[in-house]
Structure 1
Amino acid sequence: MRRWFAFGALNGALAIAAGAFAAHGLKARLSPDMLAAFETGARYHLIHALALCAAALAAEHFAPRPARTAAILFAVGILLFSGSLYLLTLTGTRGFGFVTPLGGVAFIAGWLALAWSGLRKG
């Protein structure tokens, strides 16, 4: 789970970079709606980077299997939810929009798996 923790921390750095890119590099190039979508992707990216770190720590202190499942689901959610919003705003291609809700479902399932880990004995 050390790798999951490191992966979460690296994703935290990427999320901060994405937010800075939006604020400084995209503000003049995107419509307010598209900029808000990119910022939503960065915000959820950062929140779930921290959740990845929490899942890695939970695997050490609680039930490891559901914590690992949570980490995987958070990573999938970042890829699908935040990734699709990044692609949508940077390319203008609306075809990525169908993937975004799948990422949201992965986030929800990840939080439920993390809760399950906390409720079970290791």
Structure 2
Amino acid sequence: MKLFIILGAINGFLAVALGAFGAHGLEGKIPDKYLNIWGKAVQYQMFHAGGLLAIGLLAGKVSGSLINWSGWLMFAGIIIFSGSLYVLAVTQIKVLGAITPIGGVAFLAAWVLMIIAVYKL
């Protein structure tokens, strides 16, 4: 599905831009602990941007809704996991860390669905 390739590319772009912003714009402005959290958000966004690209390429070969659900869960995971960490890093509101695992579960579910969809080929 072309949409997941586009979402993957957009998220790859954003991960690079946000990584550069963290390294150059936030350094010295937020504590190192929160700079590391920002870096973790960038890292997981980039990993899952690649996952979205893979899903987009697989969607042409794998029929059924599993691969589609995998893509949407991976995209939701980026927004919830990385998004909550970005906001946590700049606001330092610790309760936001409670949202992050929801995104992690979405990532895990996305990968499992990808495995099942490909296995069914």
TM above 0.5, yes or no, is yes
The amino acid of 2:114's aligned partner reads L
Deviates more, 1:57-66 or 1:29-38: 57-66
Match of 2:8 in 1: 8
Deviates more, 1:59-68 or 1:46-55: 59-68
CA RMSD of aligned residues (A): 1.0
Runs (5+) with no aligned partner, structure 1: none
Q: Percent identity?
A: 36
Match of 1:88 in 2: 88
| Aligned counterparts of 2:112 and 2:31: Cα–Cα separation in 1 | 35
**What are the equivalent positions in structure 2 for 1:34-73 lying under 5 Å apart?**
34-73=34-73
Report the Cα offset of residue 61 of structure 1: 1.2
Q: Is the 8 A contact 1:58 1:64 kept in 2?
A: no
| Runs ≥4 residues deviating over 6 A | none
The amino acid of 1:71's aligned partner reads G
TM-score using structure 1 length: 0.95
| Aligned counterparts of 2:78 and 2:61: Cα–Cα separation in 1 | 24
Report the Cα offset of residue 93 of structure 1: 1.5
Report the Cα offset of residue 109 of structure 1: 0.5
Runs (5+) with no aligned partner, structure 2: none
SS at match of 2:59: helix
Match of 1:114 in 2: 114
